Amino acid sequence: MTNQTFEQLKKTYESGRTRPLAWRRAQLNALRRLVTENRDAFVSSAMADLGKPAAETVFMELNLVAGEAQFVRNRLSLWTARHPKAMHWMLQPAAGWTIAEPKGVVLIISPWNYPVLLALEPMADALAAGNAVCLKPSELSPNTSKLLAELVPQYLDSEAVRVVEGGPKETGELLKCPFNHIFYTGGGHVGKIVMRAAAEHLTPVTLELGGKSPCFVDRTADINVAARRIAWGKFTNAGQTCVAPDYVLATPDVAEALAERIAVAITEFYGEDPKASPDFGRIINDRHFERLCKLLPVGTVPPEEPSSPLVQVASAVGAAMDMVGRRFNAVTTGRGGAGEMAGSANNAAKPTAGSNMAARPCRRAGSNWAAADDGATASAAVEPSEIHKVPGVFDLAGRIVCGGKVDRAARYIAPTVLYGTSPDAPVMKEEIFGPILPILVVEDAESAIRFINKRSRPLAAYVFSRDHEVRLTFERQTSSGALGYSLPLGHLLSSRLPFGGVGASGIGTYHGKAGFLTFSHVKTVVTKPQFPDTLRLVYPPFNEAKAKLFDIIAKFS
What is the distance between the alpha carbons of residues 54 and 35, in angstroms, rounded to a whole number? Answer: 14
**Quick one: the chain helix, strand, coil %, rounded to 5?**
45, 15, 40
Judge whether 197 and 400 are in contact, CB under 8 Å.
no
pTM for the model: 0.85
- In tens digits, the chain (557 residues) has pLDDT values of 789 999 999 999 999 999 999 999 999 999 999 999 999 999 999 999 999 999 999 999 999 999 999 999 999 999 999 999 998 877 888 999 999 999 999 999 999 999 999 999 999 999 999 999 999 999 999 999 999 999 999 999 999 999 999 999 999 999 999 999 999 999 999 999 999 999 999 999 999 999 999 999 999 999 999 999 999 999 999 999 999 999 999 999 999 999 999 999 999 999 999 999 999 999 999 999 999 999 999 988 887 654 445 445 545 555 555 544 444 444 444 433 333 333 333 333 333 333 333 333 333 444 444 444 444 444 444 455 689 999 989 999 999 999 999 999 999 999 999 999 999 999 999 999 999 999 999 999 999 999 999 999 999 999 999 999 999 999 999 999 999 999 999 888 888 889 999 999 999 999 999 999 999 999 999 999 988 888 887 788 888 888 888 888 777 76
pLDDT of 340: 34
What is the distance between the alpha carbons of residues 482 and 190, in angstroms, rounded to a whole number? Answer: 22
Q: Is 465 helix (H, G, I), strand (E, B) or coil?
A: coil
Question: What is the biggest distance separating any 2 CA atoms in the chain, rounded to whole angstroms?
Answer: 98
pLDDT of 51: 95
Residue 113 DSSP class: S
What is the distance between the alpha carbons of residues 62 and 69, in angstroms, rounded to a whole number? Answer: 11
What is the distance between the alpha carbons of residues 442 and 194, in angstroms, rounded to a whole number? Answer: 37
Distance of CA 450 to the CA centre of its chain: 22
Q: Does domain 2-84+91-185 have CATH number 1.20.120.450?
A: no
What is the distance between the alpha carbons of residues 413 and 292, in angstroms, rounded to a whole number? Answer: 8
pLDDT of 112: 97
Give the C-alpha distances (Å, rounded to integers) separating 355 from 133, 358, 469: 51, 6, 6
pLDDT of 299: 85
From 28, 50, 258, 276, select the one nearest 131 (Cα to Cα).
28
Active centre residues (catalytic): 208, 242
Judge whether 472 and 355 are in contact, CB under 8 Å.
no
- Decide which of 3.40.309.10, 3.40.1280.10, 3.30.470.30, 3.30.2320.80 is the CATH code for 214-493: 3.40.309.10
Q: Is 186 exposed, middle or buried (0-12, 13-18, 19+ CB in 10 A)?
A: buried
pLDDT of 14: 98
pLDDT of 548: 84
Q: Is 159 exposed, middle or buried (0-12, 13-18, 19+ CB in 10 A)?
A: middle
pLDDT of 366: 42
| Domain extents in the chain | 2-84+91-185, 214-493
End-to-end CA separation in angstroms for the chain:
56
pLDDT of 316: 52
pLDDT of 541: 87
Q: Is the peptide bond before 541 cis (omega within 30 degrees of 0)?
A: yes
pLDDT of 295: 97
Q: Check for a shared fold between 2-84+91-185 and 214-493.
A: no
What is the distance between the alpha carbons of residues 433 and 212, in angstroms, rounded to a whole number? Answer: 9
